[in-house]
Every structure is written in C-alpha cells, then in structure tokens.
Structure 1
Amino acid sequence: MNKVDSASSGLAISGWAVTSPYGIGRSVFSEGLAAGRGTERAIEQGQGPAGTACLVPDFDSRAVLGKKGTRMMNRVTGMAVSTIGDLLRELGSDRLDPDTTGLVVGTTVGSAQSTIDFTRGSLTGERPFHVEPGLIPYAVMNGAAGQCAIWHGVKGPNATLAAGRSAGLLALNYARRLLLTRRAGTVLCGAAEEYSVARAWISEHSAGTDAPGAVLGEGCAMFALTADPTDEPPLATLLAVKATTCSDGDWYTTVRRCVEQATAAAGVRPSDVWMASPSGAAGPAGHAERAALGDLFDLGDRLVCVTELIGETHAASGALQLAAVLSLAEQNPESAELPAVVTSIDESGTVVACLVRLG
C-alpha cells in the first residue's frame, strides 16, 4: 500500500452550496435528506441504457444561468457554474478578493458526452477539423473549472482533479495545500458529475467494482475554505485528509488503516466521532468500506450513506457526502464541536478519509 500523507492543521469551511437530485439549493437538499426520500425516477427513452436514474429535476443551463454564453454549455459545467454562484451569494461578494480566490473542481473525465460529441464530429464531418467550435472548451476535462473562473471572475489558482469517486475529497486536500502554502486566501472547491447517454453507456460497459445496474446520479457540491480566522465561527473545520492505495484487494484493512491515520493526525478518538459517511460504492469494496466504518465507530443510524438516496454520483459523491454531513449537523445541535468522517473508495484502488470538526 502506497500512502500519501496529507494531514491538515485545521481550515475553516465557511460556506457550502449544492445541486442534487433533490433540486437546486441547500434547503431542498436538506429537506429531502432529512426525510430519507429517494430520488430514483424513470428516464425518457433514449437518455441511456437503463430505465431509471437520479437526475437534478428540470435542470437546464440556459434557464438557470441565462442565454448569454450558455448555448453550447454542457450539463456538468452548468451545474458547477450555478452551484458556485449560489456559494458566492451565500458568502457575500465583499468577503472575497477575486485575485486571491482559487478554484478546485473534482471530476471523472469532465463531460463524457461533450468529448464523444467532439470526437464524433471530427470523424463524421467532411473534414476532421469541421467540428462545432463551441464544443471545444467543453470537450476537455478542465472545461468546467475554466468556465467557472471566467463566469465568476475568480483569478486565483485554478485546478481540475480527475480521480473518479475520490475526486471530491482529493479536491479538498488540494485546496488545503493551496491555503497552507499561501497561494490563495480562499479556495472554492468541490466536485461535479453529470448524467448523460455517454456516461450511462460507459458505466454499463465498464462496471468494474460497481455492481451491474447501479443507479446513476448527478450533482455538484462546492465549499469555501480559508486558513484565515474570521469573526464568525466556521460551519466546520477541515482537520485531516488521508489517501492510501489498496494494491492487494484487502479493502477492509486499507479503509480501516486510512481512517485510523486520519483520526490520529487530527488527535481525535474514535469514540468522539458523531457521524460517518461511506461512499456507498457497490460490490465487495463498498461492503468492506461500510464494514470498516461500522467496526471503528459505534454510530447506529449515524452511519449515513447518501448514495442510497441520490444514486451513484461518481466524482461528485465525496463532495455530496460532506454536504450531507454538514446538512444533518445543522439539524442536530448535539453535533456541535464533534468530529465526522467521510470516506471514499475508487475502483482504481484509491482510498481517502476526510475528518472534519462540525461547527
């Protein structure tokens, strides 16, 4: 097992925003989550090989963001731009310096649909370069992060992390490094994943660890992190992020060791953990992840798996898990000042554990 050490000295999470299969915004996300309401619904014929998915209801980039600059915008970019807009409105524009505000977006491959559409155009056009030029910015995986920065005038460091299901938590760690090295004063970070015919086809034909027939979901969650203390108490504090590679197939031992390293780095006793959220991956790896968390922490119904409600959101899963933890903590005063654990596993072998102290 190869370990990447990444403990945090404590960074403030000062805001968060979410777009999920419950709808746009924190309120509908919190309401749906608290009610334990599932979001799986039938999709229209031609939207994918499966008959159901967990989609953001009635999401359309042009309707949400306006017609200017959105004619060719793909779904994942639209969700990311919209969610960051919600986050900036929560924070207040006067609290951020655009020149020192960074942006980190986790993804799987960006938009599989845009990439395939671009490739198809180059193969079927009269000439290879006769492709729709508007597709070009969105056919690369960092298209969403770039468009978010342009749209909202964010001029600090801009990064895209392609790490599958672990992308959301690794984005937090990347943001941590930007802040601790003073390359940014505030970092907006999270992850986004879209549902598309192309993604559904790829998922069906390369299930890997995921069980065949896993219900796909989509969404985006973004957080504002800062290393500088403010007068207002943070919503949560990022204490540690640890990442490890499972190279021998022993997911249980790898997950357990990774979580133990995160709690040790943060100086947290397992008995103090208020909530844990596994990625909910299907198959043996997901079962091992949940078993490891269950053995480490005696949490009962506070071992929360949001994948069961909003579907397999791949790159966005870790960010949506953290959003769920923050949402449930807001509704439970007894969680104040207590730690929570979020874990993620990916079929590539990556295991990530994130530890936060709730506000």
Structure 2
Amino acid sequence: MTRTDVAVTGLGLLTPAGVGVAATWERVCAGLPTAAPDPELADVPVPFSCRVPAFDPRAVIGPQVWRMDRFVHLAIAAALEAVADARLGPGAWDGARVGVVVGVGSDSKETCLRSGERFLNHDYEGVSPLTVPRGTVNAAAGEIGIALQALGPSLVVSTACASGATALGVARDLLLARRCDVVLAGGAEAPCHPFNSVCFSRMGALSTRVHDPAGASRPFDADRDGFVLAEGAGILVMERPEDARARRAPVHALLAGYGASTDGHHYAAAHPKGAGVERACDAALADAGIGYADVDHINAHGTSTPMNDRIEGETLHRLFGGHPPAVTSTKGVTGHTLGAAGAIEAALSVLTLQDQVIPPTANLDRLDPRIELDVVAKVPRPARLDVVASNSFGFGGHNAVLIMRRA
C-alpha cells in the first residue's frame, strides 16, 4: 500500500447484466450478452439496445422518483447499494466531509425532448417547469447528495465515454487532498432513446446486426460492426485506507493510480497511433509507482467498433512490448453504457481482483488478426491477479486509465 492508494469499500451496480453487484457479476462471468429488441426503438433503424432488467425505481427510491429522469434513478439506486455495502450512510458519517462525483456523458433526453417538442409547437404552458432540474447532468450528483445527505463537494464530470473513469480519478484526488473523508463516485447514463439511437446510427457508430441483436456487441471480433447502446450505473464508495481500517471496514480493492490525457486529434475518431492512450497509461502507471510489467490484466475499453478496437489493440500490444497481459472487454455482455462505462468497468475490475477470475469477452468467435492480444473468451479464466488496468476513452479524445490493486 502506498500513500497514493485509496480504498474501495463499497460497490453498487445497475447494468443490463442485472440489478445489483451480485447479479451483474454472475452474468458478466457467464459471458451472456444482454442486447435485445427494444420496443421504444422499434421505429428507428437500429431497434435494439441493452437495458437494465426489471428495475422499479419507486420501490428502491420512493415516491420522489417523479421529479427525476431515468439516469438519476439508476445513479441513486447504485449509490444506495454501494453505501450499504460500505456499511455507511447519513447516520454513520459527517455529511459535510462526504463528496459525490458522478460521470455523465450527456444531458438526459427524456424530459428535454418532450419539452422541446411542446416548445416547437408553441405550447409554452406545456413545457415542464422541471425540464432544467430533471434533465441537466448535475441532477445525478445533486439527487445523490439529497438522498444520502452527502453535503461535501458535489460534482459531475463529462468526458464522453471516459466520464465514469474520470469521476473516480477526481474522487481519488479529493481524498488525497483531504477535502473529503468519503467520496461516492462513479457514472450513470440512460441513453436508450430513439433520438440517441438515430444520432449514433447516423455517425455509423452502432452495430446494425438487426438479425442477431444478442450477437451485435462483439469486441475485438473480426466481424464487429459497431457498439450497442446501453444504460446503467456504477457507484463506488472510496475512503483513505487508514480511515477504512479505523472503522474496520472491508476493503474490496485499492485505486492505486489514475492517468488522463487528451488526443488533440479529432472530435470523434481516436488518434491512429494511440498517442493519447499511451500518455494516459504512462501517467496512470507512474501515479501508481509501477511499470507495464506489473500489470496482470487489462479491462479494455473495447467498444466493438472497427477502428477503436483495432487502435486500442495495436496500442496495448506496442506498450507492453508485444506481450500484453490477458485482456477482456465486458461490453460484449453489457453493451456500451457511455458515460457510465468507466465506473461500471472499474467495479468489475475490483471484482476481478477480489475473485481472482477474468470474465470472458462475449461474442468473440474469431479474433481480428490485426489485434495481437490475449483476449479472454468463451469462459472465465482463473488467474493470479494483483494489478488490473481499466481503460476508458471518449469522443473528443478524452482518455482515462485506472490502476486497481488487490487489497
């Protein structure tokens, strides 16, 4: 343990793989894809997505759900599970020393588009007075603060698909700077809306495997053709290790390093040589005080898009001297939860360390020959794991790499 480690003492997950950490981990380890036809997307070119199954926000949060959009429902439910797992809560902490940092990739379309339609039809009285507080990205952090009386710094960060990982890095900085004693950090996104589907489809980013939705998210596979839109949330409770020890809290893992960079190359495409990814990896490892040879496993960004998977694969092969450790992308199961992905995958990396098993990459039938990686596929792989790197990259050239260490 080093002076830069922070302890992960609580986990909360709502993903297409299941409601809660246990359900999500079981399906991710089984490698069972979740993409399926989506009735709400029936009229758009890509009519399938990955949704959180059987989630009733009113049963979890209470009647106040009326004032929140779905991404906030997911964020609060994940936070409640994480806090319970950490054996914390309003009665067990000084709220003024508890921070919240949530990564959200984009504002909610749920309320904004409904009000926008009424505005365009000049139905000004029909525009909801809750349009702004429900739809803006800060609602996720603000509502968690209200629900759990977390009264310290409350932030939302938005670095596209790197948002969840960026949030964890910022939370770690708050703890190391001693501005907070506990931080609830992660990401939330509910993008399975026809508007989002059409927009990503027009970019050519989504899989069009309409004949086989379950097989559509296939990271690193030679036949991949795009990502699958998904919703979800992941929240981690983090503390300084000495504080966790003082209250005898179980520590799932340690967040030991964080590196971030910007490609400075293109508004949507990754740098072709992975230059920004390399800077983020270098920074994360230096922050953790380790080298490339110390990494036992990589939870890749692995979105299932043709270009990004190839660039990530080539970059990792080069950085690790031609011998990268075992790699997986859990997006084969969950789809791409955008701003929530980095946090969900950080939580899955923690579970990988805790259980000493690497979950498989779903739908990997034929590895792209240009991707020279040891990608775990078909079945989970038991392994001796002390250090895991979790990669997250986003539109605009945002890169974030987290280093998790076994507690």
Give the alignment's TM-score, normalised by structure 2: 0.79
Which 5+ residue runs of structure 2 have no aligned equivalent?
208-223, 266-270, 358-381
Confirm or deny: 8 A CA contact 1:286 1:345 kept in the other structure.
no
Partner of 1:246: 263
Distance 2:178 2:286 in 1: 25
Confirm or deny: 8 A CA contact 2:206 2:227 kept in the other structure.
no
Q: Which amino acid aligns with 1:100?
A: R
Match of 1:304 among 306, 316, 328: 328
Distance 1:8 1:296 in 2: 26
1:197 Cα deviation after fit: 2.4
Confirm or deny: 8 A CA contact 1:121 1:132 kept in the other structure.
no
Work out the number of aligned pairs and report it.
Answer: 350
Which 5+ residue runs of structure 1 have no aligned equivalent?
1-6
1:209 Cα deviation after fit: 9.8
Distance 1:20 1:340 in 2: 21
Distance 1:216 1:30 in 2: 20
Moved more, 107-116 or 24-33: 107-116
User: 1:216 aligned to 2:229?
Assistant: yes
Deviations 1:34-90 (A, max 9, x none): 111111111115456222211101223224323x21124211010011111111111
1:130 Cα deviation after fit: 4.2
User: 1:182 aligned to 2:178?
Assistant: yes
Partner of 2:236, secondary structure, is strand
User: 1:33 aligned to 2:28?
Assistant: yes
The aligned runs of 1:235-274 (5 Å cut-off) are: 235-248=252-265, 249-274=271-296
Partner of 1:191, secondary structure, is strand
User: 1:133 aligned to 2:129?
Assistant: yes
Deviations 1:2-48 (A, max 9, x none): xxxxx981111111111010121111111111111111111115456
Moved more, 140-149 or 261-270: 261-270
Distance 2:335 2:85 in 1: 27
Match of 1:15 among 4, 10, 27: 10
Distance 1:162 1:48 in 2: 29
Q: CA RMSD for the aligned pairs?
A: 2.5
Partner of 1:250, secondary structure, is coil
Structure 1 segments, 4+ long, off by >3 Å, are: 45-48, 206-213, 294-300, 333-337
Partner of 1:342, secondary structure, is strand
Match of 1:276 among 298, 306, 309: 298
Deviations 1:121-176 (A, max 9, x none): 3332433x541223331121211211121122211111011111010111012112
Partner of 1:164, secondary structure, is coil
Confirm or deny: 8 A CA contact 2:102 2:156 kept in the other structure.
yes
Distance 1:150 1:48 in 2: 37
Distance 1:55 1:8 in 2: 39
Partner of 1:341: 389
Confirm or deny: 8 A CA contact 2:115 2:131 kept in the other structure.
yes
Q: Which amino acid aligns with 2:134?
A: Y
Partner of 2:121: 124
Distance 1:288 1:8 in 2: 34
Partner of 1:141, secondary structure, is coil
Distance 1:48 1:25 in 2: 31
Q: Which amino acid aligns with 2:110?
A: Q
Q: Cα 1:208–1:38, aligned 2, differ >3 Å: closer, same or farther?
A: closer
Partner of 1:3: none
Distance 1:214 1:340 in 2: 24
Deviations 1:184-216 (A, max 9, x none): 111100001112223223322345699975311
Distance 1:42 1:303 in 2: 29
